[in-house]
Amino acid sequence: MKIIQKFMTRNDCYQANEKIVPKGILLHSTATPGVMAHEWYDMWNKSYQKGEINRKVCVHAFLDDENVMQYLPWDHRGWHGGGPVNKTHIGIEMCEPAGIVYDDKYGSTIIEYDVEANEEYFRKAFKNAVELCVMLCKKFNLTEENIITHCEAHKMGIASNHADVMHWFPKHGESMGSFREAVRKALNND
Ligand SMILES: [Zn+2]
């Protein structure tokens, strides 16, 4: 896993310079098929307050099958969960491969997905996400138990109602349980 640091200095979250003590990691996936990690820089390195972008949004990192792009210092308050979770959790977005077709009506319901074609991409991105979470757990004294995904955070009442990443992981036989288990194994050298 290679981390490329390129802070979104125009983004309001960066400008606000509000610090957090990370208590966990919130894992997202983008629901934007085919837009890879490095491409989000130009899309989101903008100020909502100055009207350069139509939503207030910022995460700490985007990752894909190749790289992790770190866009915000890990201890800055991000804006990715639509709730109190922003003040406690590091936000990570996993980029989704091209070719996924979503139902417009529900936004996060996938209606067409080629498992075989996406398997290699998924495995590499999943591995990068595990490695990044392992690194962050070590850095901030967290465990796999502190890693949640957006839909879990919603059920806990601390984030907006999104389906990620559980609309995607099961297509490849994974879940947040198996994700946490992979992080646990790496943390404990099992
Ligand atoms: Zn999300």
Give the pLDDT confidence of 166-178 residue by residue, as tens digits: 999 999 999 999 9
Cα(65) to centroid(ligand 1), Å: 18
Cα–Cα distances in Å, from 179 out to 31, 73, 165? Answer: 19, 24, 11
Neighbours of 141 (CB within 10 A): 10
Cα–Cα distances in Å, from 154 out to 55, 58, 132, 149? Answer: 20, 18, 23, 9
Q: Edge-to-edge strands of the sheet including 61-63?
A: 2-5, 67-70, 61-63, 89-94, 24-29, 147-149
State whether the Cα torsion 81-83-89-90 is positive or negative: positive
- Look at residue 138 in the predicted model and tell me its pLDDT: 98
Residue appearing with tokens 């990570």: 92
Cα(9) to centroid(ligand 1), Å: 22
> Would you say residue 153 has pLDDT above 90?
yes
Cα(147) to centroid(ligand 1), Å: 13
Cα(190) to centroid(ligand 1), Å: 30
- Look at residue 87 in the predicted model and tell me its pLDDT: 96
Please give the share of the chain, as a percent, with pLDDT higher than 90: 91
Residue 185: pLDDT band (50, 70, 90) is very high
Instruction: Catalogue the E-assigned strands of the chain.
Output: 2-5, 24-29, 61-63, 67-70, 89-94, 101-103, 109-112, 147-149
Cα(149) to centroid(ligand 1), Å: 7
- Look at residue 171 in the predicted model and tell me its pLDDT: 97
- Look at residue 105 in the predicted model and tell me its pLDDT: 74
> Would you say residue 190 has pLDDT above 90?
no
Tens-place pLDDT, residues 81-132: 988 999 999 999 999 999 999 998 766 789 999 999 999 999 999 999 999 9
- Look at residue 55 in the predicted model and tell me its pLDDT: 86
Which segments of the chain does DSSP mark as H helices, in order? 12-16, 40-44, 115-140, 150-155, 176-187
Q: Which of residues 108 and 179 earns the better pLDDT score?
A: 179
Residue 156: pLDDT band (50, 70, 90) is very high
- Phi-psi group of 141: left, alpha or beta (phi > 0 → left; psi -120 to 50 → alpha; rest → beta): left
Cα angle 165, 41, 7 (rounded to 5 degrees) comes to 100
> Would you say residue 15 has pLDDT above 90?
yes
Coil/strand/helix, residue 1: coil
Q: Which of residues 152 and 82 earns the better pLDDT score?
A: 152
Distance CA 144, CA 140 (A): 12
Average pLDDT over residues 24-46: 97
End-to-end alpha carbon distance in the chain: 20
Please name each of the domains of the chain with its CATH number: 2-187 (3.40.80.10)
Cα(141) to centroid(ligand 1), Å: 23
